[in-house]
Amino acid sequence: MVLDFDPIYRDHQDAREYAAITIGNCGANSEEGAETIVRHAGMMKALISCLANGLEVRMQETTVVALKNCAASSQEAAYVIAQSDEALALLKDLALQDDHSRLRDVAVGAINSISRSPRAVPRLKKMGFQSEVLCELLWTKDNGAASDLRKLTLACAVVNIEASDPQKLPAKVLQRWIHSKDGKQAMANMVK
C-alpha cells in the first residue's frame, strides 16, 4: 500500500499524498465507498500513520479530508472512525493546534462530520469532545471567512453532540456565543 511507511516509499511524499486524495475521493458522496475504506484495517492504519508521523502539513490536510469525506458520506463510517482512539486523539490535536489554520479547519470539519452519527457521539465525548470544549474554540481570536466557517462548523458539532443528551438544549449551550459580537459577525459573514 503506497500510504504505508515502508522504506521504499519514504521519499515518495507525492505518491502518499495522491493515494490519500484518491481515498478521500472514493469516500466522498459514496456511502458504500466510505464504509469500505474505514472498515479496511490496512487503509485506516495507513491514514492514521500519515496523521501521526509529522509529515508535511499538506499531507496531513489531505488525510484529514479523506477521513472527513468518509464520515460525511456515511454515519456508519463516522461511527467506525470514532472507534479509533488514535484517530480521534489526532483529530483533536489538529483541531486545537494554532500553527496551521487550514489544517485546523479541516480537522474541525472532520469532527463535525463524525458528530453527525449519533452512535459516534459517546466516543467523541469519551475522547474529550464535550460541547464545552468545542464551545471554548468558538472564542478563539482569528479573523476571516475561514474562521467564520470553522466557528459555525464547531457550532454544528456542538448541536450534534448536545442533541444526544435530552437534558441539554444545544441553543442554550451556544447562546452566549450566538449573542456575542463575534458570533453575530460570524453568522452575518456566512449569510453574505
Q: 96-122 pLDDT, tens per residue?
A: 887 888 888 899 999 999 999 999 999
Domains defined along the chain, listed by start = 1-123 (1.25.10.10), 130-192 (no CATH)
Q: 125-146 pLDDT, tens per residue?
A: 888 887 666 777 766 666 555 5
pTM across the whole model: 0.81
Full DSSP string of the chain:
-TTS--GGGTT-HHHHHHHHHHHHHHHTT-HHHHHHHHH-HHHHHHHHHHHHTT--HHHHHHHHHHHHHHHHH-HHHHHHHHT-HHHHHHHHHHHH--S-HHHHHHHHHHHHHHHTSTTTHHHHHHTT--HHHHHHHHT----SHHHHHHHHHHHHHHHHHHHT-TTS-HHHHHHHHHTSHHHHHHHHHHH-
Rounded Cα distance, 100 and 118, in Å? 29
Q: 48-100 pLDDT, tens per residue?
A: 988 886 657 888 999 999 999 999 999 999 999 999 999 999 999 898 887 88
Q: 20-33 pLDDT, tens per residue?
A: 777 877 778 899 99
